[in-house]
């Protein structure tokens, strides 16, 4: 049985589409590597907690201002550290999403949502 390919869907167009898809995939892999190498510094609690994170969402350091270290109020310090780490992760994800969206032209590519 022969399959009829509609006009305009011939080998040349299909090959061109495949090349474009391959180029997009290569561009996305390069951008992902670039994003993973980036480092971000995020402050929480008005600057008393400073979190440094990389694009792989690995915490590189946490710095605390002396005035926030109160042995009688450990809960506030813990909350500020959690807030700083969460804000750092959000920043990495938002940056990666914005950068990838530039490459894909806003297309929703299946399987890519969980990566960034």
Domain segments of the chain: what residues? 11-115
64: which residues sit within 8 A by CB, 6+ positions away?
48, 49, 50, 77, 81
pLDDT for res 102: 85
Is the pLDDT at 115 greater than 60, yes or no?
no
pLDDT in tens, 75-110: 999 999 999 999 999 999 999 999 888 877 766 655
Q: Are 8 and 56 in contact (CB under 8 A)?
A: no
In the three-class reduction of DSSP (H, G, I as helix; E, B as strand; rest coil), residue 77 is classed as helix
54: which residues sit within 8 A by CB, 6+ positions away?
36, 37, 38, 39, 40, 60, 92
In whole angstroms, what is the distance from residue 107 CA to residue 26 CA?
16
Is the pLDDT at 55 greater than 70, yes or no?
yes
The CATH class given to the 11-115 domain equals alpha beta
Q: Are 103 and 31 in contact (CB under 8 A)?
A: yes
In whole angstroms, what is the distance from residue 93 CA to residue 107 CA?
17
pLDDT for res 105: 74
| Max Cα distance, the chain (Å) | 81
């Amino acid at each position: 049985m022969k399959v009829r390919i509609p006009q305009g869907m011939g080998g040349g167009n299909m090959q061109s589409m495949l090349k474009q898809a391959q180029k997009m995939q290569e561009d996305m892999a390069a951008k992902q590597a670039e994003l993973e190498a980036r480092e971000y510094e995020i402050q929480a609690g008005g600057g008393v907690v400073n979190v440094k994170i990389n694009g792989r969402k690995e915490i590189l350091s946490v710095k605390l201002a002396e005035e926030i270290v109160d042995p009688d109020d450990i809960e506030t310090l813990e909350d500020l550290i959690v807030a700083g780490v969460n804000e750092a992760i959000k920043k990495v994800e938002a940056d990666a999403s914005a950068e990838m969206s530039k490459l894909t032209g806003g297309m929703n590519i299946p399987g890519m949502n969980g990566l960034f």
